[in-house]
Amino acid sequence: DEDAALLAGGFDDGTSEDALRQNPVLAIVGRPNVGKSTLVNRILGRREAVVEDTPGVTRDRVQYTAHWNGRDFTLVDTGGWERDARGIHLRVAEQAEIAVEMADAVLLVVDAMVGITASDEAIVRMLRRIKKPVILVGNKVDDLVQEAEAATLWGLGLGEPYPVSAVHGRGVADMLDKVMDVLPEFSAVAGVERTGGPRRIALIGRPNVGKSSLLNKLAGTDRVVVDNVAGTTRDPVDELIELGGRTWRFVDTAGIRRRQHMAQGADFYASLRTQTALEKAEVAVVLLAVDEILSEQDVRILQLAIESGRALVLAFNKWDLLDDERRKYLEREIEQDLAHVYWAPRVNISAKTGWHKDRLVPALDLALENWDRRIPTGRLNAFLGELVSEHPHPVRGGKQPRILFGTQASSRPPKFVLFTTGFLDPGYRRFITRRLRETFGFEGTPIEVSMRVRE
Ligand code: GDP
Ligand code: GDP
């Protein structure tokens, strides 16, 4: 039964696992005046203009929650993106590119009465490179007669154009049905959602590192409630524990407390449980035991935590067992095997005695704060400008790729996109990542830097 529960998605109380997932994101792109704002209003079911045509008004992004057929999705409108925070005029294709970067699918709006223009074609080229599902919409098809005009949009090579009239609503339902077909249930690109309530911690680590001991020590008499969902007969899965005067949610503690010893496939189930817990959490505490050699399993679990994109704290447990001899080796192990997570805060603890258990909260706070962080576009570009002028990209074959500008596409965890004139060397990208960390901190959070080469 337990195995079946694990395979069916883990120890879930039916609410928590999906709670941190974001609605899928649909970006609406197209050149000015094709009717994007009108279409946004139509989809949202309102009449007033969403985008005010006030010159000089700048917005980093314009997002709305939309509904269709009982499903929610996020609509990203690029109408207000004529200028970025520094007042630099972005090309239409670049604006679209930022939006597409943050989206699961794209609605490309073309003016069917005008037909295909060079701007439309530039956007299509960009969409081809990025490889996200695209729905082509021919707007301003106000009546049946005009539908024939929309057929010319096949010429863009994006398949069937959907003829709509954003003003009259014609064809919009069919278009939205198609949108729902291509959007995933949850977003694959948006960061983890900020939910209300206590921060969520996944306490993970291989068997016997001390997870249940630590949980007992932390919960102690301060354990607030064993969280249960009314009306279900299922096991409680999470525990609410008060630390540092605040309540935290330790997710999937049932998996820790119900000590399982499966003869076969124990590794498989352990990693499945680890992944389930990470899915539900905002921050991972990876527990390592200092009295034993860092094992492959330790490293694998740590890797799962990093790949999950959650905030990360390393806790070195069983410090009371550390002698001088072992300590020497431990330091070497940390240097060799944990070099790639130099950015994660470390705490040395003893779950048995409770030594240093109060050091966990500051580390968790630091990691979560950085995980949540968003660097304003202006500040990011000031940083990039300085970095590039001090350390320009090396010249390769007579060419020197330049960074035009960058933006933080999402947080939780922070993800950055750089727009460049050519491919950046992997070494140079690592350099930028390191500098980002040095300048902005980001202790305790993975960060991602990707690039988009401008044609
Ligand atoms: P955006 O710049 O792409 O956001 O375009 P807008 O939504 O501001 O629309 C540009 C112009 O096209 C406005 O004058 C709209 O009234 C007009 N427009 C938008 N959709 C339609 C449509 O379906 N039919 C017609 N005839 N005009 C439209
Ligand atoms: P889990 O499998 O990760 O939940 O590990 P347990 O909490 O069950 O701990 C495994 C063993 O390590 C138990 O015998 C614990 O008493 C012991 N242990 C856990 N933490 C410490 C610690 O900080 N110091 C010492 N000396 N022993 C510990």
More confident residue, 153 or 453: 153
Residue pair 203/421 in contact (Cβ under 8 Å)? The answer is: no
Unique residue bearing structure tokens 């106000």: 142
Query: What does the mean pLDDT of the chain come to?
Result: 82
pLDDT tens, 163-183?
A: 999 999 999 999 999 999 999
Residue pair 359/349 in contact (Cβ under 8 Å)? The answer is: yes
Question: Which residues approach ligand 1 with their CB closer than 6 A?
Answer: 30, 32-38, 79, 139-140, 142, 165-167
pLDDT tens, 376-406?
A: 888 898 999 999 999 999 998 888 998 988 8
Whether the pLDDT of residue 7 is over 70: the answer is: no
Which residue has the CA at smallest separation from atom 24 of ligand 2?
318
pLDDT at 6: 38
pLDDT at 98: 74
Gap from CA of 344 to ligand 2 centroid (Å):
23
- State the Cα–Cα distance between residues 18 and 14, nearest whole angstrom: 8
Gap from CA of 33 to ligand 1 centroid (Å):
6
Atom number, ligand 1, closest to the C-alpha of residue 79: 4
Q: What is the 3-state secondary structure (H, E, C) of 237-249?
A: CCEEEEECCEEEE
Gap from CA of 167 to ligand 1 centroid (Å):
7
Which range is least confidently modeled, 24-28, 82-86, 256-260?
82-86
In this prediction, residue 12 has a pLDDT band, given cuts at 50, 70 and 90, of very low
Whether the pLDDT of residue 270 is over 80: the answer is: no
Which residue has the CA at smallest separation from atom 12 of ligand 1?
35
pLDDT tens, 343-387?
A: 999 999 999 999 999 999 999 999 999 999 989 888 898 999 999
Query: Which ligand is nearest to the Cα of residue 209, counting in written order?
Result: 2
pLDDT at 369: 96
- State the Cα–Cα distance between residues 452 and 153, nearest whole angstrom: 27
Which range is least confidently modeled, 66-70, 95-99, 169-173?
95-99
Query: Which ligand is nearest to the Cα of residue 257, counting in written order?
Result: 2
pLDDT tens, 296-325?
A: 999 999 999 999 999 999 999 999 999 888
Q: Which two tokens stand for residue 117?
A: 């223009």
Whether the pLDDT of residue 89 is over 50: the answer is: no
- State the Cα–Cα distance between residues 288 and 410, nearest whole angstrom: 30
pLDDT at 258: 64
List helix spans (H) across 281-417: 296-307, 324-337, 360-372, 377-390
pLDDT tens, 212-225?
A: 999 999 987 444 44
Given the cut 0.85, state whether the ipTM is greater than it.
Answer: no
